[in-house]
Amino acid sequence: MKGKLFVLPVLLIAHVVSAQESVGERVVNRTKETTIRKTEDKIDEQVDHTLDKVFDGSIFKKKKKKSNDGNAPGTKKSSGKQSSGGGNASDGDDTDFSTYRDFDFVPGEQTLFFEDFSNSLLGSGPTQWTVTGEKGEPAITTLPGSPDRWLRTPKEGLSFPNAFNDFPDNFTLEFDMYADPEAMSEMMSGLKVVIVQKLADRSEYDQWFSPDPQIILDIHPSGGGESLNLGAKKEYDSNISRGLTLHDSTYRDGWINGEINRISISRNGSHLAMYVNEKKYMDLSDALPKPGAYGLVFANNMWGDGTYITNIRIGGGGAVTAKTVNKEIAADKKFISRTIYFDVNSARIKPESWATLNEIANAIGGMPGNFHIVGHTDSDGADEANLSLSIRRAASVKNALIGEFGLDGARLTTDGKGETEPVESNETIAGKAQNRRVEFIQQ
């Protein structure tokens, strides 16, 4: 009787999923994999649970993570600073910086590489991505509830940008990552971020036995909670060391299930640090002691439906600091920031921008004169919409500098230029990233 009862829930799942095109592929894949994995372990319980999630729409429902003060994101908390006032940021007023006030990651000032997969393909061309391995159907795709395009990595294989393979000694690497921990196995890997000595053909890289100078950072959410395992391992030739584990720890509350998580990595010579969302988890003083040219490879060896990554930015030229802001303003009466991040088509500042804003506030707060804040966009979208968006983004920055950092609003004015003053071509992803910027002009 139990075997017969199992048929009806599975048919119901298939019927409901086929009727919900907005959920589509993710639900089908996840239901199939979950059914296979759980067949010998509480089959009826798992099917009932999946049916509940399909019917109430919670498979892709975002879960709010509590901030350090116990409030969920979006809950206003006084910073103890001056009220923002004096600006109209519209959708930019609701940023909650509370969990990021101890965030000390500042992106590299120069954009060396940027990828949001808006125009990219999988292939061998210079603007494309090489992906090896067929398991998991690697693709550039979308996720329900996200306006972005994503690279779905293979379950087993490599992914890397053909256009970038040359890290400087000091750099920052940031990207958004999505993964379904319930579909992943603790016995396999997560997403491996590999900083490896430049290879003639990265597609030949061996993620298990490579003797080349490298460090492998394994980002591995797993289970039904918010568990996150982070590992760091380096392998060099026999003259130095081999297979040395630098970090291997599991954090109970390290991952936000059902949401996009932000990964931030910085390298300063041999030193390397890694953050997940607002928290620093790795601080390795001897991560890459051997000098030389390094490139980038993402690798996977996992169960589930792959990992998803987008908004990949590699920064160089040193991190933005109050000192660098002062220096540029002294020389040019202007500082240009490309590391104040906003939600897509929105003036809401992303909370991970806090450290950059803090450095800018420290700089201009101690300088004479007033400052004119000007927003700029790329050319995507209508001209009028981009002009309005750039004006609102400048107002959001002003409000943050006043409300979060206590600057005098009387010293700050705002404007926006939309897409009318590009500094690079809008025909490329990298060019668009350069054109999206906020300028601080000393009056």
Please give the pLDDT value at position 91: 59
Residue type (1 letter), 397:
V
Three-state secondary structure call for residue 11: helix
Per-residue pLDDT of the chain (443 residues; tens, 9 = 90+): 434 333 333 333 343 333 333 333 433 343 333 333 333 333 333 333 333 333 333 334 444 443 333 332 332 332 333 333 344 445 555 799 999 999 999 999 999 999 999 989 999 888 899 999 867 789 999 999 999 999 999 999 999 999 999 999 999 999 999 999 988 888 899 999 999 999 999 999 999 888 888 999 999 998 777 899 999 998 765 555 556 899 999 999 999 999 999 999 999 999 999 999 999 999 999 898 888 899 999 999 998 777 999 999 999 988 889 999 999 999 999 999 999 999 989 999 999 999 999 999 999 999 999 999 999 999 999 999 999 999 999 999 999 999 999 999 999 999 999 999 999 999 989 899 999 999 999 99
Report which of 194, 440, 164 is spatially closest to residue 320, judged by C-alpha positions: 440
Q: Name the superfamily (CATH) of residues 108-319.
A: Exo-inulinase; domain 1 (2.60.120.560)
Cα pseudo-dihedral 313, 318, 319, 325, rounded to 10: -120
Taking each helix axis from N to C terminus, what angle separates 383-403 and 354-365, rounded to the nearest 10 degrees?
70
Output the pLDDT for position 137.
82
Q: What is the predicted pLDDT for the residue at 187?
A: 87
Q: Looking at the chain, which residues constitute the CATH 2.60.120.560 domain(s)?
A: 108-319
Q: What is the pLDDT of residue 125?
A: 83
338: left (phi over 0), alpha (psi -120 to 50) or beta: alpha
Which residues lie below 8 Å from residue 386, measured CB to CB, with a gap of 6+? 377, 378, 379, 380, 418, 419
Q: Which two tokens stand for residue 268?
A: 């300063």
| Cα–Cα dist 370/411, whole Å | 4
> The tokens of 173 are what?
């690497």
Dihedral sign from CA coordinates of 328, 329, 332, 334: positive
The span from the CA of 249 to the CA of 233, in Å, is 12
C-beta separation of 179 from 151 below 8 A = no
Which architecture, in CATH terms, is 90-97+320-442? 2-Layer Sandwich (3.30)
Q: How far apart are CA 148 and CA 176, in angstroms?
A: 10
Find the helix or strand (DSSP H, E) in which 354 lies: helix 354-365
pLDDT, position 255: 95
Residue ranges matching CATH 3.30.1330.60 in the chain: 90-97+320-442
**Would you say 113 and 129 are in contact if contact means Cβ atoms under 8 Å apart?**
no
